[in-house]
Amino acid sequence: MSFTAPEIAWGALSPVVIVLVAGIVGVLVEAFVPDRARRAAQLVLAFGAPVGAIVAVAALWDGVSSSGGTDVLDGSLLVDGPTLVIQGVIAVLTLLALLVVADRTATGEDAFAPTAASIPGSDYEELARRKGLTQTEVYPLLLLATGGMMILPATGDLLTLFVALEVLSLPLYLLTGMARRRRLLSQEAALKYFLLGAFASALLIFGVALVYGYSGTLRYSEIAAATGTPSALDPLLLVGAVLLLVGLLFKVGAVPFHSWTPDAYQGAPTPITGFMAACTKVAAFGALLRVYYTIFPGLQWDLDVFLWTVAIATMVVGTVVALVQTDIKRLLAYSSIAHAGFILTGVVALDEAGISAVLFYLLVYGVATVGAFGVVWLVRERTVPQASTDVAADELAEAGDEDLRTSVLGEATHLSQWAGLGRTHPALAGAFALFLLSFAGIPLTAGFIGKFAVFSAAVDGGAWPLALVGVLSSAAAAFFYVRIIVLMYFTPAPGRDDAAVEPSDEDAAPVVESRASDENAAPGEDVALAGADGSSAVATLVAAPTATTTTTVVPSEGLAAVAIAVAAVLTVVLGVFPTPVLDLISDVARFLP
């Protein structure tokens, strides 16, 4: 049997290749570059790769927009307009997310455990922490995940789709478990994410098998041809198609496949949460668009009921459950679920306006998400010496390094801890408020244009009930976004004023879930906080702040601040002058068959 190697069009592949090669080189750097230079080398690679990918996308743009795209690797990958847009968006978002990932506090602490392999609370961990070890493996892992994300929406057959999904998922599972603080929570999240991700992958591959069984091919275009005749409809095909979509809907966090989202988002190191919340969603929606638009147009009527149900459930559950959250990361997680529902309304519109609306929405959502999680990463708990409970957090700047190391703890994720942030740190709170307004879809932010685009595409495509539910739930969603703004600006910080602080909501029962309440015990940190012995997880709320902690913004090397500033500027610019970007996208928003 003879085997002919496929012709490889390296040019068309270049965005993916650049990122993946940088990731692989990064692994080699870990092995061969001495300790001192490792971080620098990794940073060069990590920032170089998405920049290179952006350049490659730009170089490919004209050719694709005039020719409509090409297939490479014998049809396994399709480089067309939507592929390029999504790869470009992912590259931009990765670059922003990397800024947050690479940022360190003024004392050189990053967001990741010194050695992820150590048992939480063990002597080994303590030793690694004292020696100041850091895990630069984060960067190659992140690049490999990015590579998978850039392949996913470009796939031309089901097997490549599955492989790409795994390539993007596996590094993310690892990254989720590598948080520096609250390590048990982080590891628990990683395990949950992994188990459920494996479950979803199994469903997806089962769907692939059924579709293959029906059509005898894995190539999208050939499946489309086989399903084109309506008379040939078969439960086998329908179940296969649903399972296939479920595999992707899991990744976007659509209800009822959303349950991993809050836990994983909460447990993961916050910079990674920002990265995966933004980029995974972009990649998975890209793939979802392609599968829905190119494989199953013949099944549209039958799949509509499925996607409509999922979209409505996603919007309603995401919005309503977010209303009662008391943890900022979980709140943003549920809000991201609700956004998945809004984007789905654009997907089911099934026309060209729908494609470009979804792509634009993904961009603006991703930008605001990376920025918002960047802010969350900077807002920290800080112990206050008993003698001086009324010390203003602003004095932190003058505090010495050693003081910082011991007094600044993990992120202040309980909503009540965000009270008064607008007074103590107006710029940061202002940026956060801007992201929230964009999430809420208030005019003159990018989120408004995005929502307007998907909803009007849905109305145009005849899905007006979806648009109606979308409008209603985004109106309700605005409530919890604005609640945070009120909290930041109008509620005095606890301990600063006699007025009682209303942490979140008057009568919603706290959502009790299994939580490991461990803290990576730092010297001077209250033992009670590090109470978990690492062998048992306790079902409790994340420890509410005690009287001896206050909220502060940790001084950092400034990279996260850059990311937040860029995201804020983009949010405003895309809200006021969206036309150039919308034009760019809608020029090429056509899938190769």
8 A C-beta contact, residue 272 and residue 175: yes
Site for other proteins in 255-274 (CB under 8 A): 255-257, 259-260, 263
8 A C-beta contact, residue 410 and residue 383: no
Q: How far is the CB of 322 from other proteins (least distance, A)?
A: 10
Among 27, 43, 170, 239, binds other proteins (CB under 8 A): 239
Query: How many Å apart are CA 454 and CA 133, to the nearest integer?
Result: 46
| Between 468 and 565, CB nearer to other proteins | 468
61 is an interface residue for other proteins by CB under 8 A: no
Among 38, 192, 251, 281, binds other proteins (CB under 8 A): 192
- Which residues fall within 8 angstroms of residue 553, CB to CB, at 6 or more apart? 378, 379, 380, 393, 396, 421, 424, 425, 428
394 is an interface residue for other proteins by CB under 8 A: no
442 is an interface residue for other proteins by CB under 8 A: yes
71 is an interface residue for other proteins by CB under 8 A: no
Among 250, 292, 342, 435, binds other proteins (CB under 8 A): 250
Measured at the alpha carbon of residue 368, what is the angle toward residues 362 and 371, in degrees to the nearest 5? Answer: 135
Annotate 490-556 with DSSP letters as a single string.
HSPPBTTBSSPP--S-SSPPP---EE-------TTS-TTTT---SS--EESPSPPPPTTEEEEE--B
The site that binds other proteins (CB under 8 A) totals a number of residues, namely 85
543 is an interface residue for other proteins by CB under 8 A: no
Label residue 113 exposed, middle or buried (CB < 10 Å: 0-12, 13-18, 19+).
Answer: buried
Site for other proteins in 346-365 (CB under 8 A): 352-353, 356
229 is an interface residue for other proteins by CB under 8 A: no
- The stretch near other proteins (CB under 8 A) out of 51-59, 107-115, 239-247, 544-552 is 239-247
Q: How far is the CB of 78 from other proteins (least distance, A)?
A: 22
33 is an interface residue for other proteins by CB under 8 A: no
Query: How many Å apart are CA 262 and CA 593, to the nearest integer?
Result: 36
Q: How far is the CB of 214 from other proteins (least distance, A)?
A: 14
Site for other proteins in 284-343 (CB under 8 A): 302-303, 305-306, 309-310, 316-317, 320-321, 323-324
Query: How many Å apart are CA 107 and CA 313, to the nearest integer?
Result: 45
- Which residues fall within 8 angstroms of residue 341, CB to CB, at 6 or more apart? 254, 255, 311, 312, 313, 314, 315, 316, 318, 470, 473
User: What is the amino acid identity at position 319?
Assistant: T
- The dihedral region occupied by 69, where left means phi > 0, alpha psi between -120 and 50, and beta the remainder, is left
Among 133, 163, 170, 537, binds other proteins (CB under 8 A): 537
8 A C-beta contact, residue 79 and residue 60: yes
Q: Specify the 3-state DSSP secondary structure of 137.
A: coil
| Between 409 and 436, CB nearer to other proteins | 436
541 is an interface residue for other proteins by CB under 8 A: no
| Between 10 and 301, CB nearer to other proteins | 301
| Between 39 and 496, CB nearer to other proteins | 496
Site for other proteins in 360-389 (CB under 8 A): none
| Residue the block writes with tokens 């939507």 | 82
| Between 202 and 544, CB nearer to other proteins | 202
- The stretch near other proteins (CB under 8 A) out of 12-20, 90-98, 250-258, 554-562 is 250-258
196 is an interface residue for other proteins by CB under 8 A: yes
8 A C-beta contact, residue 584 and residue 384: no
Query: How many Å apart are CA 338 and CA 474, to the nearest integer?
Result: 8
Q: How far is the CB of 309 from other proteins (least distance, A)?
A: 6
Among 67, 300, 546, 579, binds other proteins (CB under 8 A): 579
401 is an interface residue for other proteins by CB under 8 A: no
CA–CA distances in Å: residue 420 to residues 296, 332, 376, 488, 497: 51, 19, 15, 5, 10
| Between 139 and 342, CB nearer to other proteins | 342
Q: How far is the CB of 17 from other proteins (least distance, A)?
A: 31
213 is an interface residue for other proteins by CB under 8 A: no
Closest C-alpha to 488, from 534, 433, 442, 437: 433
Query: How many Å apart are CA 7 and CA 74, to the nearest integer?
Result: 7
For the CA atoms of 113, 115, 119, 120, the dihedral, rounded to the nearest 10 degrees, stands at -20
Site for other proteins in 482-511 (CB under 8 A): 482-483, 486, 489-492, 497, 499-500, 502, 507-509, 511
| Between 35 and 498, CB nearer to other proteins | 498
**Binding-site string for other proteins from residue 450 to residue 489, where x marks contact by CB under 8 A and - marks none:** --xx-xxx-xx---x--xx--xx--xx-xx--xx--x--x
